[in-house]
Structure 1
Amino acid sequence: MAKMITRRRAILIMAAAAGLPLLSRVAYGKVEDAPLMWNGIALGAPATLILNMEDRDRAGALINRVVAEIVRLERIFSLYRMDSVLCGLNKEGAMAAPPPELVEVLEMCQYVWQKSDRLFDPTVQPLWTLYANHFAKSDPDPAGPNSEDIRTALSSVGFENIKFNRTRVVFTRRPMALTLNGIAQGYITDKIVELLRAEGITSSLVDMGEVRAIGNQSDGQPWRVGLSAVASRGKSETVLKIMDKSVSTSSASGFQFDETSGFGHILNPLSGQARSGYARLTVVGERASVADAFSTAFSLMEPDKVRTTVASERNLSVDLVSLNGDRLRFGPDVW
């Protein structure tokens, strides 16, 4: 059987209003002086929210709003909830009056699809299903699905076969299916940041698999985000210092279809192959959704193409490690 390694990790949101620390360096004298903390489940992962505001009732209400917003958006984008909007669209192949959030994400997908020469394509779900079913067999061919099955799956792939606007979404070819896992996590991160900012939060780190910072830390220092290949889970190979930026990392080792780690979740919509060219690829940008999508696309590009695409985008940077350990950086100096 296949050994599935999830890329999902614990969610952490730390936030503070102006003039207040995220966490005290010394013990709080009274419980009411401490930041408010919530522990639970969000996006299918353990979640911790730490919020420091002078008005604890307001802080508690804001935590409830954050949790409710995550749940609401999950009900739109999740592939694991059969009652989600996305699962309904995949089943029916069409939808009238789609949620505006779904249309907004599809517009972002279309932009990155075009900028990446079709390497970012959320219609790769048939390929994902092919690889998952192949390696779920009791004795799968270690070489992966055969070429004919890959060609069949590819015949259902192509973002150009989705027509959408504010009033409808239609698949013009069937069977087709969407996965928004390459952008929705970043999009939800962005929405939570918008919510926090609207409530006067000036210092925050939102880590929902994709990371986005509001301002600096409360002591004025930039946020520090460690980078390493997902599978290593050890000491960070490098640390980024960021302020008002998002960080998204893609690594084939984050999810493997097979025991030998030869086939990862980063699927090429043109060739049908399931192999990334990098041990780790990290994108730094303003919005987590955009960084999330480009981190997938860049994982399938040659370094020169990554460089030229980054140069054409405003406020986008890349830090990558090749399979043989070479490290390259493109874009503005944000390190």
Structure 2
Amino acid sequence: MPPETRISRRRVLRLSAVALAGAGVALWPRKPPPVTWTGQAMGGPASLTLHGAAEETARRLVSRVVALVDAMEGLFSLYRPDSLLSRLNREGEVGDPPAAFTHLLGQALTVAAATGGAFDPTVQPLWELYRGGVPDAAGLQAALGTVGWQRVMVARDRVRLQPGTQLTLNGIAQGYITDRVTDLLLSHGVGHMLVDMGEPRGIGMRDDGQEWRLGIADPDAVDRVLSTVPVSGRAIATSAPRGTLIDAAGRIGHILDPATGLPATAWRQVSVAAATATMADALSTAIAAAAPARAASLIGDSGASVVLGVVA
């Protein structure tokens, strides 16, 4: 899960689809040059690389991607008071939610059930509690009383929370937006791309025929690469419990164990590969919140795998 709280909250996504033309003069038609875009999604860095698409077509598609990301933020961002999720947390209920909202929330609850609550979107009250520093036992128990994915009711025409319950989708929404962008581009005939709206997913190949590959950084030295992994045909999500510190004193990591309410400390970092960025994102969050010995059982029959884990 990317460090949303550590990145500027500006929601400006600049259109910067730049054609990277090769040097020299071609004597035969060349493949269209790669087109790249960088910006922000859900408050964190985002990027897109398209291979094989005509430049003008790619630029139009990038404009559609920017609009889609803004629409998804309007549903899922906790940093936008006008988002649907912010309104749900304030009011406890929303009617006639868009299909994308109930779709993602349904996936979040499915993963919560499959992981026995290791992934749980109802931990937002714990986040709010820890922002003020380490809570006392009474405060922690009170907040835990509002946590539990079973406290969320999702229907096609309504989403309702039990009193005191609030949601965060920061452990799954970045992956979901990556998948939505990927689906949009696939539907317009783009077959070779690297999409990263917080969690990266590769489709097809680079224009040199090589697989898409990504470096996984050392959590303690981000300029050092621990491993380089292929990402063509799959997504990779990385969660580092102390990658974001949520209290003013900078002592408390952003991944909390939904069962105990305590900050997760067993992992320094874990990277998960899955067929979709949504699943990779949610499972990396779940595994990072749990003991390393539980990783295999949390993955279950999802087809995902831990590609790199650094224990504390």
TM-score (norm 2): 0.86
Q: Work out the CA distance in 1 between the residues paired with 2:102 and 2:283.
A: 19
Deviation at 1:232, TM superposition (A): 2.2
Q: Work out the CA distance in 2 between the residues paired with 1:187 and 1:261.
A: 29
Q: 2:20·2:35 contact (CA, 8 Å) conserved in 1?
A: no
**1:163-221: CA deviations, max 9, x gaps?**
111111111x2111110001011000000000111111121111222110011222221
In the alignment, which residue of structure 2 is the partner of 1:163?
A: 153
**1:233-286: CA deviations, max 9, x gaps?**
121111112221000000012101357754200011110101231111111001
**Structure 2: runs of 5+ lacking an equivalent:** 27-31
Q: Closer, same or farther in 2 for the Cα pair 1:126/1:5, shift >3 Å?
A: closer
Q: Work out the CA distance in 2 between the residues paired with 1:217 and 1:12.
A: 24
Letter of the structure 1 residue corresponding to residue 263 of structure 2: A
Deviation at 1:39, TM superposition (A): 5.3
In the alignment, which residue of structure 1 is the partner of 2:290?
A: 301
**1:31-83: CA deviations, max 9, x gaps?**
xx755555555433455555455644322221111110000111000101111
In the alignment, which residue of structure 2 is the partner of 1:281?
A: 270
* 1:179 equivalenced with 2:168 (yes/no): yes
Q: Work out the CA distance in 1 between the residues paired with 2:99 and 2:235.
A: 23
Deviation at 1:304, TM superposition (A): 2.8
Letter of the structure 2 residue corresponding to residue 240 of structure 1: V
Q: Which one of 246, 252, 271 corresponds to residue 241 of structure 2?
A: 252
Q: Work out the CA distance in 1 between the residues paired with 2:267 and 2:130.
A: 20
Deviation at 1:102, TM superposition (A): 1.1
**1:137-172: CA deviations, max 9, x gaps?**
xxxxxxx2111111111111111111111111111x
* 1:110 equivalenced with 2:98 (yes/no): no
Q: 1:51·1:63 contact (CA, 8 Å) conserved in 2?
A: no
Q: Work out the CA distance in 1 between the residues paired with 2:230 and 2:36.
A: 25
Please state whether the residue corresponding to 2:6 is helix, strand or coil. coil
Q: Which one of 302, 305, 308 corresponds to residue 317 of structure 1?
A: 305
Alignment of 1:220-231 (within 5 A): 220-231=209-220
Q: Closer, same or farther in 2 for the Cα pair 1:285/1:48, shift >3 Å?
A: closer
* 1:26 equivalenced with 2:16 (yes/no): no
The percentage of counterpart residues that share the same residue type is 36
In the alignment, which residue of structure 1 is the partner of 2:228?
A: 239
In the alignment, which residue of structure 2 is the partner of 1:6?
A: 6
**Structure 1: runs of 5+ lacking an equivalent:** 17-21, 136-143, 324-335
Q: Closer, same or farther in 2 for the Cα pair 1:218/1:34, shift >3 Å?
A: closer
**1:3-49: CA deviations, max 9, x gaps?**
x962789x999999xxxxx85553789xxx75555555543345555
Alignment of 1:34-113 (within 5 A): 35-36=34-35, 38=37, 40-45=39-44, 47=46, 49-51=48-50, 55-113=54-112
Q: 1:251·1:276 contact (CA, 8 Å) conserved in 2?
A: no
In the alignment, which residue of structure 1 is the partner of 2:206?
A: 217
Letter of the structure 2 residue corresponding to residue 84 of structure 1: S
Please state whether the residue corresponding to 1:256 is helix, strand or coil. coil
Q: 2:215·2:227 contact (CA, 8 Å) conserved in 1?
A: yes
